[in-house]
């Protein structure tokens, strides 16, 4: 019985030797007497072991691939953070708008936005070539969403219309050489940024109401309602739409807040003291002369 076992293990050994010439294994007889630890050291240090060295070569390549990927990812995340921070500054700048400083506020905001584009969005251009555009989406998406939010916010305050995806992508074309793939924002990031825009518009509307610009607030209300309506048709088709669904809920809350604020002003408007000299029939100051201010 021992002989057959010996024979079978020899056959095994020969089989291994036949498939892969491996001088190391021929010394197995001696190695077997050594406790496991040394055997392991032996296999590690044996340079003639072609199987482990071929592992090493291949895994060296895999290591390079992973290193490059992770470093790129880090760069993209950093760029995304810069974009987020500076886009937020643009948004805050726009919030400073009022009846009296509209143009200067918007001019500065647009200038700042252009700076964000030129300084920070440009960093994404070279990182997101080819398949990396989708591979690294999680890394840059928050930054791009914030950027879309800022850009659409500026446009709305300037013209009252929505900045289209094509338009915003057109502004990104000059960032890259015509020979390489331009950075183009994808539909998903655009829509997510748009959802965030409604939150900022809600804040703007409430602020405008406080300043007495009720009509402006109503325009915002109408605009946000339109966006909400359009998006309800699209939400089901969005890739991993769980983010979007949460944003839709928030959006509805924003719309309702604006509507409620407009309602309050509308209903309570008659309670406001009219200016001296107002010819409003309900005004108790009817007939009083104007005040020079």
Cα dist. 127→16, 122, 137, 234 in Å? 47, 9, 11, 29
- The residues near 292 (Cβ < 8 Å, ≥ 6 apart) are none
Rounded distance between C-alpha atoms, residue 67 and residue 160, angstroms: 47
Cα dist. 176→126, 180, 184, 185 in Å? 8, 7, 11, 14
User: C-beta of 255: minimal distance to other proteins in Å?
Assistant: 14
Would you say 120 or 200 has its CB closer to other proteins? 200
Would you say 222 or 253 has its CB closer to other proteins? 222
User: C-beta of 3: minimal distance to other proteins in Å?
Assistant: 10
User: C-beta of 86: minimal distance to other proteins in Å?
Assistant: 26
CB neighbourhood size of 86 (10 A): 22
Would you say 115 or 286 has its CB closer to other proteins? 286
Would you say 174 or 277 has its CB closer to other proteins? 277
Helices (H) and strands (E) counted in the chain, each on its own, are: 13, 0
User: C-beta of 87: minimal distance to other proteins in Å?
Assistant: 21
User: CA 160: distance to chain centroid?
Assistant: 25
What DSSP assignment string belongs to 176-225? S-TTSPPP---HHHHHHHHHHHHHHHHHHHHHHHHTT-HHHHHHHHHHHH
User: C-beta of 174: minimal distance to other proteins in Å?
Assistant: 22
Rounded distance between C-alpha atoms, residue 56 and residue 279, angstroms: 91
User: C-beta of 5: minimal distance to other proteins in Å?
Assistant: 5
- DSSP class of residue 291? P
Would you say 253 or 264 has its CB closer to other proteins? 264
Rounded distance between C-alpha atoms, residue 278 and residue 193, angstroms: 45
| Dihedral sign computed on CA atoms, order 266, 206, 110, 73 | negative
Would you say 85 or 284 has its CB closer to other proteins? 284
Would you say 59 or 119 has its CB closer to other proteins? 59
User: C-beta of 55: minimal distance to other proteins in Å?
Assistant: 4
User: C-beta of 1: minimal distance to other proteins in Å?
Assistant: 8
Would you say 178 or 236 has its CB closer to other proteins? 236
């Amino acid at each position: 019985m021992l002989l057959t076992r010996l024979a079978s293990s020899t056959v095994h050994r020969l089989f291994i030797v036949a498939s892969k010439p491996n001088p190391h294994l021929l010394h197995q007889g001696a190695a077997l007497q050594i406790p496991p630890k040394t055997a392991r050291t032996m296999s590690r240090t044996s340079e003639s072991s072609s199987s482990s060295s071929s592992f090493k070569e291949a895994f060296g390549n895999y290591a390079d691939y992973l290193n490059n990927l992770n470093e790129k990812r880090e760069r993209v995340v950093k760029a995304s953070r810069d974009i987020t921070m500076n886009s937020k500054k643009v948004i805050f700048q726009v919030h400073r708008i009022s009846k009296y400083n509209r143009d200067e506020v918007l001019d500065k905001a647009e200038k700042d936005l252009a700076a964000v584009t030129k300084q920070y969005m440009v960093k994404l251009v070279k990182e997101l070539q080819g398949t990396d555009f989708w591979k690294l989406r999680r890394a840059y998406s928050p930054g791009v969403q914030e950027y879309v939010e800022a850009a659409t916010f500026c446009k709305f305050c300037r013209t009252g219309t929505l900045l289209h995806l094509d338009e915003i992508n057109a502004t990104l074309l000059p960032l890259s050489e015509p020979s390489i793939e331009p950075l183009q924002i994808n539909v998903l990031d655009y829509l997510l940024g748009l959802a965030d825009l409604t939150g900022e518009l809600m804040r703007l509307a409430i602020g405008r109401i406080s300043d007495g610009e009720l009509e402006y607030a109503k325009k915002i209300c109408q605009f946000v309602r339109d966006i909400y309506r359009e998006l309800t048709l699209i939400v089901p088709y969005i890739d991993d739409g769980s983010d979007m669904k949460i944003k839709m809920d928030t959006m509805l809350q924003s719309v309702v807040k604006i509507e409620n604020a407009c309602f309050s002003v509308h209903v309570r408007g008659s309670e406001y003291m009219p200016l001296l000299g107002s010819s409003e029939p309900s005004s108790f100051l009817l007939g009083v002369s104007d005040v020079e201010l």
